[in-house]
Chain A
């Protein structure tokens, strides 16, 4: 399976998983000049910027640590832009990471949610 397909599949699985956990999905694939965010969601009174990581096979390293400095910066910049351009925002916000492990045929094997990954 190609990398982009893998990513798209992962993002869809992540959105479904978050919904089951009671998150409300506001937006997917939020893009702005400063960066991009896979899923913007809400968990009760907290706005959650979600980065989805899709891996084939067991990962080496944790999902959060697989995100490099530049990417983290783009996430932060995009989050700030979102906060500055939207009204009626919840009182809190944070970053979560959803890590999806996919088997060789594309089946989802494991989904892990890391709350407040960059706390």
Chain B
């Protein structure tokens, strides 16, 4: 049963005196090509977001639904930050560090600076803002779900551009995830400059 994310945690934090609560999530962690992209979103706290009920974790939405909700997020007065770490740096740092860096960049991009972070699945002790990591946060918490939508749409658009530069792998379709089609085209064509050489399915072929 799919339960929609709620604004409860944010409401509770607001009642504790926090003013700017950011939801943080990332996308592209399991991909074998392209960057990892994170987003941070501070939703306006004065309520009146009728579309909030349609928000889900980005993986549970169709591309069209995601695009529509991105439009709502971008025009409702929310503060949005995006951070990405490219494939070569993922190879050098490892995906965990790269994911954390992308999230830290996204948070840093927020102006004004938030006073509390709700982060999907992780904590960022490096970032000196009070915070909470929530397992399955993108399914529980509206702000995190909104961040997942921003990250997903941003990354998907970028992967479509990459597909134009490196055609033949189907990047526009699978967005760099290791689908059967992707792995097959990897075997046929070899790794492109944007494949993550440290990831097993790619390393195997080198």
A84 to chain B minimum Cβ distance, whole angstroms, is 23
Size class of the contact patch on chain A? 10 to 19
Closest B residue, CB atoms, query A57: B126
Q: Complex Cα distance A18/B29, Å?
A: 39
Residues of B90-113 at the interface with A, using a CB-CB cut-off of 8 Å, are: 93, 97-98, 100-101, 104-106, 108-109, 111, 113
Q: Which of A2, A3, A60, A69 is within 8 Å of B82, CB to CB?
A: A69
Q: Which A residues touch B108, using CB under 8 A?
A: 66-68, 71
Q: Complex Cα distance A3/B128, Å?
A: 5
The verdict on B5 contacting chain A, using a C-beta distance below 8 Å, is no
The verdict on B137 contacting chain A, using a C-beta distance below 8 Å, is no
A68 to chain B minimum Cβ distance, whole angstroms, is 4
Fill in one digit per residue for A21-32: 1 if any B CB lies within 8 Å of its CB, else 0.
000000000000
Fill in one digit per residue for A47-71: 1 if any B CB lies within 8 Å of its CB, else 0.
0000000011101110001111111
Residue pair B128, A56 in contact (C-beta under 8 Å) = yes
The verdict on B34 contacting chain A, using a C-beta distance below 8 Å, is no
B56 to chain A minimum Cβ distance, whole angstroms, is 26
Residue pair A68, B81 in contact (C-beta under 8 Å) = yes
In the assembled complex, 23 residue pairs joining A and B whose CB atoms fall closer than 8 Å, in A order, are A2-B128, A3-B113, A3-B129, A6-B128, A56-B126, A56-B128, A57-B126, A60-B93, A60-B104, A60-B126, A61-B85, A61-B97, A61-B98, A61-B101, A66-B101, A66-B104, A66-B105, A68-B81, A68-B83, A68-B108, A69-B82, A70-B82, A71-B109
Additional pairs, 7, CB under 8 Å, beyond known A3-B129, A57-B126, A68-B108: A2-B128, A55-B126, A60-B104, A61-B85, A66-B108, A67-B105, A68-B109
